[in-house]
Structures are given as structure tokens and as C-alpha cells.
């Protein structure tokens, strides 16, 4: 039985942001409806299975499903019977890189006439600056409720590393952006159950803060990737240079190069540039990061033709050790290789598992697109045994510690193998 005094929360969208948040709220004593239009996802979650990798979430799901947490497609029942409604919906960009807010707009239009006095609405999705103000105007224009008096509204962004939500929600300060003090108090009352670190501000500043978090990281990765390209021009080891800059230096901090993408970093800058004339830094960062696969392939073409060559791409997720391939640059690399006439195979232990040795057999080019831990078990020696003679390895993550973006394998000659065998025999005598 649900206790009458138990605060009820509807989390709209039980994706990679919403579902872990729902489970943490359930753990803290709230009753949570996880609402989603995807019937299959709801069935999977209610059966006790996580639909994606999230450390520690499976334990909480098994503990609270059917108790403090229920997943449902009954949107109206959940929202009408909740004290707080939290929107964790996707905000993608269209083919012209313009932000799409249709999911949020649809939800607001559907719940606006079912709202009741005292409810708190929380936006947790990434949005354009001014969205919270727009929702306030929409609610007040279509109901008799006043935000801050009857209904309460807050923008409370998530800033969690995907796959680490359960661990990081209590650790990271929760930003609460509002348009009035009453809404700020309402939002703090529930989020302080998750973390004691609360940062209050106005709604638009909070919206900008969320975007700045992602863009700051994205720009830093772009600098690292551009530095990598410059180091290549000078035939120098980018990882050694980064170590020279960073080691024991208080003003260091250069990131390592890599395939930088994902559903947030890829698009969030476009929430900022559509009204600003000062777009160069953000848009250039996007161009640099998105061009890394093409740059690497051009470097490979300087060493070999790609026509009819077998290319193996390892790591399809946009982030290490997760099963999320949204906007992954591995697929951009695949398209370019195919356009060059190559034959492409792909592997990822979380997305497209297959026998790695079989997949690598006969490969002329191997791309380490994401540095999953499982690939650390590989070595250049093992790759030399599995692949062709003089296979080119792209190791932008420096997984093998060579300091080279591109390494050409060389299989040992018969004489070298015999010499090594004789050394082994002598060492055992």
C-alpha cells in the first residue's frame, strides 16, 4: 500500500537520465512513476531488467519495482496523481542542426489542463535559454494557475556522467533555476533528499550553466584534437607533449585527443549559437571534433590505398564502457571508409559483440574508435598474430602506449621467431 504522506513523483521519460533518477528517488523514500510511451521499455523495466548499462541501477530496480517504483504508459494517471512532475525528455537537433523541443511541448500541452494546485514541474532536459520562461507563459495563458502561487516551476539540470548516475547524483551539486522563491523552495525540498549541495539561481542562468558545462568540455576536447593534428604535422608524439605540459604544472590540464561525440556534446552548442553573432569558437570546435575520423583516414591513405582493403573498427559507443552509440563517430568513420572502397567490419562488446579474433583476421586497418577496457587485453603482438602483415593500427587513445596515432604492424620473420624460440629455450635451461 502507498502511504498517503508519501510524496509522489512522475518522471516523464525513463531513458538514460530519467530511469536512474527515478530509482534514486525511490531509494530515498519517494513513490515514483516512470512514464514512457515505449510499451516494450515499460514491460522490460517492470520485469526487473535495465534496458541499458548503468552501474548499480539493476540492484535498485530489483529492490523497488512494484514498491516505490512503477513504470507505466498511463501518462494522465501518473501526472494527475503526482506532487512533482519531472521531464527528462530528449531535445535533439534536426537535419539543419536546429534544436527540436517537440517532446517537451507535447507533454506540456497534454498535462496543462490536468494540473492541480501545489504541483511542482521540473525541467531536467537540456533546453535553449528562455525555455522555462516560455513554459511559464504557456501554463498561465492556458489555465487559471499562476506560477509561484498555484503551480511551481523549476529548471534542475542533470550533470551526470552516463553510466555513473547512481554514484554521482549524491555527489554533484544540484543547480536549481527558478522564476520565483516559492518554486525554488519547492524544488529544494525534494532535491535536498538526493544531495545536500544545492545551488540556486534564476532559470535562464541555470539553463546557460547546463549548456556551458558541456561546451566547456567539448571545446577542450577540440583543442586536444587540433593539437594532435599539429603534432602529426611535426612528426611528434602528442601524448609526450601533453605530459610535458601537464605533469606537475599547476596551469596544465590539456585533454588527450580522441573521438569526441555523443548526444549532448555533439549538439548542445547549437542551443547557444542560434541567437548569438559570436559563434566561431563553438562551431569551430564542432568542426574539429567531427572531422577527426576524416583526418585520420586521410593520414591512413598516405600509407596505403583503401580500395578492397579490410577495415576493422573497434568500439561503437560514444563513451568508454557504455552501450550508447548515439552520434558515435565510429559510424562516420565507417561511411568514409566505404566511400573509399574499403570493406568494413565493426565490433563492440556492448553493442555489436562478435568473436574478436575472427573479426580481426585479415584486417589491413584496425581503428580503436573507443577505448573500452576490454580492448586493453589486446597488444600489438596479439594484433600482429590476428591481422595481416603490415596492418595499420589507429590508436588515437594511446591504448598500446606507443604515443603514435598510426602504427604499422610488422610480423616477425621466420629468423626472428627462431631466434626468439632459441632465447626462450636458453632461459629455461
Q: So what's the pLDDT on residue 95?
A: 64
Q: Is the pLDDT of residue 339 over 60?
A: yes
The model's confidence at residue 113, banded by pLDDT at 50, 70 and 90, is confident
The model's confidence at residue 1, banded by pLDDT at 50, 70 and 90, is very low
How far apart are alpha carbons 24 and 136 in whole angstroms? Answer: 28
How far apart are alpha carbons 204 and 179 in whole angstroms? Answer: 9
Q: Cell 569551430 sits at which residue?
A: 284
Report the share of the chain in percent with pLDDT over 70: 92
Average pLDDT value for residue range 182-197: 97
Average pLDDT value for residue range 67-82: 95
Domain boundaries, given as residue ranges, for the chain? 8-196, 213-408
Q: Cell 604499422 sits at which residue?
A: 408
Average pLDDT value for residue range 249-267: 89
Q: Is the pLDDT of residue 93 over 70?
A: no
Its pTM stands at 0.89
Average pLDDT value for residue range 304-319: 96
Q: So what's the pLDDT on residue 427?
A: 54
Q: So what's the pLDDT on residue 175?
A: 98
Report the share of the chain in percent with pLDDT over 90: 79
Q: Which residue has the higher pLDDT, 128 or 339?
A: 339
| 62 Cβ neighbours under 8 A, 6+ residues apart | 48
Lowest-confidence region among 75-79, 107-111, 208-212:
107-111
| CB atoms inside a 10 Å sphere around CB 33 | 23
Q: Is the pLDDT of residue 88 over 90?
A: yes
Q: Is the pLDDT of residue 259 over 50?
A: yes
Average pLDDT value for residue range 371-386: 92
The model's confidence at residue 83, banded by pLDDT at 50, 70 and 90, is very high
Q: Is the pLDDT of residue 338 over 70?
A: yes
Would you say 367 and 333 are in contact if contact means Cβ atoms under 8 Å apart? yes
The model's confidence at residue 56, banded by pLDDT at 50, 70 and 90, is very high
For domain 8-196, say whether CATH 3.40.50.300 is its number: no
Q: Is the pLDDT of residue 143 over 80?
A: yes
What is the CATH T-level fold of the domain 213-408, as seen in this structure?
Rossmann fold (3.40.50)
- Asked if domains 8-196 and 213-408 share a fold, the reply is yes
Using one digit for the tens of pLDDT, what is the confidence trace for 266-293?
777 777 876 677 778 888 999 999 999 9
HSE-CB of 109 using CA atoms within 13 angstroms: 6
The model's confidence at residue 2, banded by pLDDT at 50, 70 and 90, is very low
Average pLDDT value for residue range 177-194: 98
| CB atoms inside a 10 Å sphere around CB 307 | 9
All three cell numbers of 290: 567531427
Q: So what's the pLDDT on residue 70?
A: 97
Using one digit for the tens of pLDDT, what is the confidence trace for 414-423?
565 566 555 5
Q: So what's the pLDDT on residue 265?
A: 78
- Asked whether the CA dihedral 96, 98, 104, 108 is positive or negative, the reply is negative
Q: What is the mean pLDDT of the chain?
A: 91
Q: Is the pLDDT of residue 94 over 70?
A: no
Q: So what's the pLDDT on residue 426?
A: 56
Q: Is the pLDDT of residue 194 over 70?
A: yes
Amino acid at each position: 500500500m502507498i502511504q498517503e504522506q508519501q510524496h509522489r513523483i512522475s518522471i516523464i521519460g525513463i531513458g538514460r537520465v530519467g530511469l536512474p533518477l527515478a530509482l534514486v528517488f525511490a531509494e530515498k523514500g519517494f513513490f515514483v512513476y516512470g512514464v514512457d510511451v515505449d510499451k516494450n521499455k515499460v514491460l522490460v523495466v517492470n520485469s526487473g531488467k535495465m534496458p541499458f548499462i548503468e552501474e548499480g541501477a539493476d540492484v535498485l530496480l530489483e529492490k523497488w519495482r512494484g514498491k516505490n517504483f512503477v513504470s507505466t504508459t498511463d501518462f494522465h494517471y501518473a501526472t494527475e496523481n503526482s506532487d512533482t512532475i519531472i521531464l527528462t525528455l530528449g531535445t535533439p537537433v534536426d537535419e539543419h542542426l536546429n534544436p527540436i523541443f517537440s517532446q517537451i511541448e507535447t507533454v506540456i500541452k497534454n498535462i496543462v489542463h490536468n494540473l492541480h494546485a501545489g504541483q511542482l514541474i521540473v525541467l531536467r532536459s537540456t533546453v535553449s535559454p528562455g525555455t522555462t520562461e516560455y513554459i511559464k507563459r504557456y501554463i498561465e495563458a492556458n489555465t487559471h494557475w499562476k506560477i509561484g502561487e498555484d503551480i511551481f516551476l523549476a529548471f534542475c539540470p542533470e550533470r551526470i556522467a552516463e553510466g555513473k548516475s547512481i554514484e554521482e547524483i549524491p555527489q554533484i551539486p544540484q543547480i536549481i533555476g527558478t522564476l520565483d522563491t516559492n518554486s525554488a523552495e519547492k524544488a529544494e525540498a525534494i532535491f535536498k533528499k538526493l544531495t545536500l549541495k544545492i545551488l540556486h539561481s534564476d532559470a535562464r542562468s541555470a539553463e546557460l550553466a547546463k549548456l556551458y558545462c558541456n561546451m566547456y568540455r567539448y571545446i577542450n576536447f577540440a583543442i586536444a584534437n587540433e593539437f594532435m593534428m599539429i603534432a602529426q604535422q611535426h612528426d611528434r608524439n602528442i601524448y609526450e607533449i601533453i605530459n610535458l605540459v601537464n605533469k606537475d604544472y599547476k596551469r596544465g590540464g590539456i585533454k588527450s585527443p580522441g573521438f569526441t561525440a555523443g548526444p549532448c556534446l555533439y549538439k548542445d552548442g547549437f542551443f547557444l549559437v542560434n541567437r548569438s553573432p559570436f559563434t566561431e569558437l563553438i562551431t569551430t570546435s564542432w568542426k574539429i571534433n567531427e572531422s577527426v575520423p576524416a583526418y585520420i583516414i586521410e593520414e591512413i591513405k598516405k600509407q596505403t590505398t583503401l580500395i578492397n582493403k579490410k577495415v576493422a573498427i573497434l568500439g561503437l559507443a560514444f563513451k568508454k564502457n557504455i552501450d550508447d552509440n548515439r552520434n558515435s563517430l565510429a559510424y562516420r568513420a565507417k561511411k568514409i571508409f566505404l566511400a573509399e572502397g574499403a570493406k568494413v567490419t565493426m565490433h563492440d562488446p556492448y553493442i555489436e559483440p562478435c568473436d574478436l579474433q575472427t573479426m580481426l583476421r585479415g584486417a589491413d586497418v584496425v581503428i580503436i574508435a573507443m577505448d573500452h577496457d576490454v580492448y586493453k587485453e589486446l597488444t600489438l603482438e596479439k594484433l600482429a598474430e590476428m591481422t595481416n602483415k603490415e596492418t595499420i593500427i589507429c590508436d588515437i587513445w594511446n591504448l598500446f602506449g606507443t604515443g603514435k596515432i598510426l602504427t604499422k604492424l610488422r610480423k616477425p620473420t621466420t629468423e626472428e621467431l627462431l631466434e626468439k624460440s632459441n632465447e626462450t629455450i636458453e632461459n629455461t635451461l
